[in-house]
Structure 1
Amino acid sequence: MKFEKFAKTKPKKKCCRSKPRCKRCPLVLSKVHKAQLHGISGKDLEKVFKRARKA
């Protein structure tokens, strides 16, 4: 799945807080969405996604 589409997916209701965080985690999706609103795209958006999953 493209990283641009991750910002549009519906998050889970509750985060499990496991490491690494799942792809539908509310925290991960909110960070990707915020980065996308700031104009980040492509490989930089992929880096934001990977960093958010590690957090």
Structure 2
Amino acid sequence: MGSKKSAAKVRHLKPKKKCCRKDVRCLRCPVVVHRLNKLDLDSMNRKKLDKAIKKARVA
């Protein structure tokens, strides 16, 4: 993935107030944080977490 944040910490980030609505959403976008909160990230391994983040960030 190449991001500076680990996949497990993305779930607990404080979302921004407004969505940027770009082609690939940022990690702090409220839409991405909401999509990741709906998933059970504790039971996923590293590879599945990376795929879940990529899927959540797709606009």
Indicate whether the TM-score tops 0.5: yes
Aligned to 1:44: 48
Mean Cα displacement is larger for which, 37-46 or 25-34?
Answer: 37-46
Equivalenced residue count is: 55
Alignment of 1:20-35 (within 5 A): 20-35=24-39
Q: TM-score, normalised by structure 2?
A: 0.76
Tell me if structure 2 keeps the 8 A contact 1:32–1:45. no
Q: Percent identity?
A: 44
Q: Partners in 2 of 1:14 and 1:21 — Cα distance?
A: 12
Q: TM-score, normalised by structure 1?
A: 0.80
Q: Note the residue ranges of structure 1 that are not aligned, 5 or more in a row.
A: none
Q: Partners in 1 of 2:56 and 2:20 — Cα distance?
A: 14
| RMSD of aligned alpha carbons | 1.7
Q: Note the residue ranges of structure 2 that are not aligned, 5 or more in a row.
A: none
Show structure 1 runs of 4+ deviating over 6 A.
none
